[in-house]
Amino acid sequence: MPPVKIMYLNPVADNPEVDRLFADMARAYKLAGTEVHVTALPRADYPFSHIEYRTYEALVTGGIVRAARAAAREGFDAFTIGCFYDTALHDAREISGAMAVTAPCIASCEIAASLANRFAVIVVRSKCNVQMGANIREYGYGDRFSGFYEIGLGVDDLQRDHAETERRLKAAGRRAVDDGAEMIVLGCTMEIGFYKEMEAELGVPVIDSAIASLKRAEYAALLRHQCGWVPSRTGSCEAPTEAEIARFDAFGGSRPVFGSRIVVEAS
């Protein structure tokens, strides 16, 4: 079997430190036969270090679908959008051709619902709750969701002081468990790197949503390779025709699609 190819897109401006963090994660968690490209958006057009606000999400939405389109044309099997808002998930799915698209929230909910009956989500700030809650309900996990717990740190601060972040994550997790959560989901991909310590502390499974989305993309890629299962393209899944895309020059011309790319090769 040739390697399965996955793109992990950070839907923010390229940032070497952050890119490397996710590339290291990919290297550690992918299967041997999987190739992962960790990418980010070009800073010139998408200057955001985080997309905590809908406003910023809206401003990168075009960049995400351009990336999804480009990845599909490069032959990727699966694509994940590295933000727990699952920004532009439905949009990217429309234009992804035979490539599957997933994202951290939906990937984490699936895993959590298979390992427990009630899971909590730890968010950076309660600002996120309404939008993420609507997503969780739309995905069908409303009855399994036990609540949001905030740590009061912005996304950009999560990797600044690891001890402080860990302390806050553990405290939020403890509150969640005390309220009846049987399991924890980390509701921001930048909360990466803490789940094992939290599991040791709390005694319940803790899902790192960045890893979850990578693994779900890999699962989708394997389903394509082995079973031939690819996205439907009928009904609401119909994509615009190539003729119309060309007529509109929908995806623009020469401006770069990706701001950075680290290739983690299959071994």
| In the complex, least distance from residue 262 CB atom to a copy of itself, rounded to whole angstroms | 20
Between 137 and 162, CB nearer to a copy of itself: 137
Site membership for a copy of itself, residue 84 (CB under 8 A) = no
Enumerate residues 18-57 that contact a copy of itself by CB under 8 A: 29, 31, 47-49, 52-57
| 255: CB partners within 8 A, 6+ apart | 42, 45
- Candidates 20, 75, 126, 167; binder of a copy of itself (CB under 8 A) is 126
Site membership for a copy of itself, residue 175 (CB under 8 A) = no
Between 171 and 239, CB nearer to a copy of itself: 239
Q: Stretches 15-23, 167-175, 203-211, 256-264: which one binds a copy of itself (CB under 8 A)?
A: 203-211
| In the complex, least distance from residue 233 CB atom to a copy of itself, rounded to whole angstroms | 8
Q: How far apart are CA 236 and CA 222, in angstroms?
A: 25
- Candidates 163, 234, 242, 243; binder of a copy of itself (CB under 8 A) is 234
Enumerate residues 238-267 that contact a copy of itself by CB under 8 A: 238-240, 248-251
Site membership for a copy of itself, residue 229 (CB under 8 A) = yes
- Candidates 23, 177, 188, 210; binder of a copy of itself (CB under 8 A) is 177
- Candidates 81, 186, 188, 211; binder of a copy of itself (CB under 8 A) is 211
| In the complex, least distance from residue 162 CB atom to a copy of itself, rounded to whole angstroms | 20
Site membership for a copy of itself, residue 134 (CB under 8 A) = yes
